[in-house]
């Protein structure tokens, strides 16, 4: 019923249903073929494929899964396939051998494109695939590739495409990192989750420093005012502007980071701050943004992808939480602190404030954020 309900939302439900029935036959034939090869041999000596998320922050958290897999099976090759928005982060994860672009954006179904991407991997000899996103579409490439072991959470009726469909009953209470790491271990095991770590090559750091040189002197505070999920995760720009003015008075240089969609937010901050603020939104690649964060003395960010990047690069970090929860997606860096206020309405996990007040963020003052930044910087 769950699968049919999902298919009913598809633009071609009958066609998809027929494909699903055909897939059952393919699965049966694949399983009979796999019986000819000892599964343990396939799993141990063949490379492993991770289907990565399309969100930058989630890709950072996937580094904990890679670390767990490396500890369990040292030397086993690990590749990552993901959409282009988040894939560059996989290049910075220690232990990832190869990154494979999936030429589809966030929210695009692209059935045939995903099928072709999977078929192109059939000769790679993958013995196991771990599918991190819960979407039906994410399970298509490993199935099309004929990977004999396909592990993921049961969702959207996609269990037909998996050989090991896990219950995701803790999705709304467990940390995302722990849910990812659990997929790399036998079901029911509770392995410890290492914090995610990214390694930015020295040549990348030098290239970023040369391309985006600092104009002044003093410690650098990087501001990350965006949050792709929605405005309920964004501290107001007027408060960021006040923070920038106060930080400048305290001797900081200010840089604003984000993607092209964050440019209007940065422009408001620059206009309202009344002090020099370097706007780098939309001017950097994701790797270049990581390089700028790595060189910052302290980072102030919403609960966003760049927040997770900064934490995984061990930067002093202040994270502002509104509609989201610091319990589920906390900063994991050793020098991180959270600024939030407990209210009856949070966390609501909404894209926009359902009350229209944004009370969770309005309660956070620039003064307490600056104090937190100076404290965490040490």
Query: Residues 332-356: pLDDT tens digits?
Result: 888 999 999 999 999 999 999 999 9
In this prediction, residue 107 carries a pLDDT of: 65
How many Å apart are CA 218 and CA 290, to the nearest integer? Answer: 20
Tokens of residue 213, six digits: 């040189």
User: Concatenated DSSP letters for 45-85?
Assistant: HS-EEEE--SSHHHHHHHHHHHHHHHHHSTT--EEEEE-TT
In this prediction, residue 15 carries a pLDDT of: 41
In this prediction, residue 328 carries a pLDDT of: 87
Q: Mean pLDDT over all residues of the chain? A: 88
The model's confidence at residue 105, banded by pLDDT at 50, 70 and 90, is low
Percent of the chain with pLDDT over 90: 79
Query: Residues 219-238: pLDDT tens digits?
Result: 999 999 999 889 999 999 99
Res. 149: pLDDT tops 70: yes
* Phi-psi map region of 324: left, alpha, beta (phi>0 left; psi -120 to 50 alpha): beta
Instruction: Please say whether the beta carbons of 3 and 154 come within 8 A.
Output: no
In this prediction, residue 191 carries a pLDDT of: 79
Query: Residues 34-75: pLDDT tens digits?
Result: 333 344 444 557 999 999 999 999 999 999 999 999 999 999
Residue that has been written with the tokens 């599964």 in this structure? 39
Q: Calculate mean pLDDT across residues 110-120.
A: 94
Query: Residues 195-208: pLDDT tens digits?
Result: 999 999 999 999 99
The model's confidence at residue 20, banded by pLDDT at 50, 70 and 90, is very low
In this prediction, residue 215 carries a pLDDT of: 86
Residue that has been written with the tokens 């002044």 in this structure? 216
How many Å apart are CA 91 and CA 299, to the nearest integer? Answer: 22
Res. 300: pLDDT tops 70: yes
**Of the candidate ranges 171-180, 221-230, 305-314, the one whose mean pLDDT is the lowest:** 171-180
In this prediction, residue 108 carries a pLDDT of: 72
Distance in Å from the first CA to the final CA of the chain = 56
In this prediction, residue 103 carries a pLDDT of: 81
Q: Which helix (H) or strand (E) holds 98?
A: strand 96-101
How many Å apart are CA 95 and CA 74, to the nearest integer? Answer: 9
In this prediction, residue 40 carries a pLDDT of: 43
Residue that has been written with the tokens 């008075």 in this structure? 249
Res. 81: pLDDT tops 70: yes
Domains of the chain as residue ranges with CATH: 2-182 (3.40.50.2000), 202-377 (3.40.50.2000)
Percent of the chain with pLDDT over 70: 88
User: Concatenated DSSP letters for 218-274?
Assistant: S-EEEEE---TT-GGGS--HHHHHHHHHHHHHTT-EEEE---GGGHHHHHHHHHHH-
């Amino acid at each position: 019923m769950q699968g049919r309900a999902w298919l009913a939302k598809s633009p071609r439900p009958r066609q998809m249903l027929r494909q699903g029935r055909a897939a059952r036959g393919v699965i049966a034939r694949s399983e009979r073929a796999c019986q000819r090869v000892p599964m343990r041999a396939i799993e141990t000596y063949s490379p492993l494929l991770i289907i990565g998320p399309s969100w930058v922050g989630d890709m950072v958290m996937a580094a904990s899964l890679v670390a767990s897999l490396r500890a369990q099976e040292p030397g086993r090759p690990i590749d990552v396939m993901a959409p282009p928005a988040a894939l560059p982060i996989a290049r910075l994860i220690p232990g990832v051998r190869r990154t494979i672009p999936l030429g589809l954006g966030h929210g695009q179904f692209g059935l045939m494109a995903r099928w072709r991407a999977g078929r192109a991997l059939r000769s790679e000899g993958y013995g196991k695939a771990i599918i991190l996103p819960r979407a039906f579409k994410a399970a298509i490439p490993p199935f099309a590739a004929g990977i004999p072991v396909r592990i993921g959470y049961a969702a959207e009726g996609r269990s037909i495409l998996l050989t090991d469909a896990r219950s995701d009953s803790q999705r709304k209470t467990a940390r995302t990192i722990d849910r990812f790491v659990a997929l790399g271990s036998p079901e029911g095991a509770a392995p410890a989750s290492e914090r995610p770590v990214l390694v930015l090559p020295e040549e990348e750091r030098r290239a970023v420093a040369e391309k985006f040189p600092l104009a002044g002197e003093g410690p650098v505070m990087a501001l990350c005012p965006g949050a792709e999920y929605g405005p309920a995760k964004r501290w107001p720009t007027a408060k960021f502007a006040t923070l920038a003015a106060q930080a400048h008075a305290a001797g900081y240089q200010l840089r604003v980071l984000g993607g092209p969609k964050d440019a209007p937010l940065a422009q408001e901050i620059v206009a309202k701050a009344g002090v020099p603020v370097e706007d780098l939104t939309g001017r950097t690649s994701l790797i270049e943004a990581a390089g700028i964060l790595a060189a910052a003395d302290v980072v102030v960010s919403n609960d966003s992808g760049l927040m997770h990047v900064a934490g995984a690069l061990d930067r002093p970090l202040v994270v502002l939480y509104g509609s989201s929860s610091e319990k589920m997606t906390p900063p994991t860096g050793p020098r991180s602190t959270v600024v939030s206020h407990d209210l009856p309405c949070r966390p609501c996990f909404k894209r926009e404030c359902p009350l229209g007040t944004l009370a969770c963020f309005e309660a956070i003052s620039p003064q307490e954020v600056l104090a937190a930044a100076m404290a965490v910087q040490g």
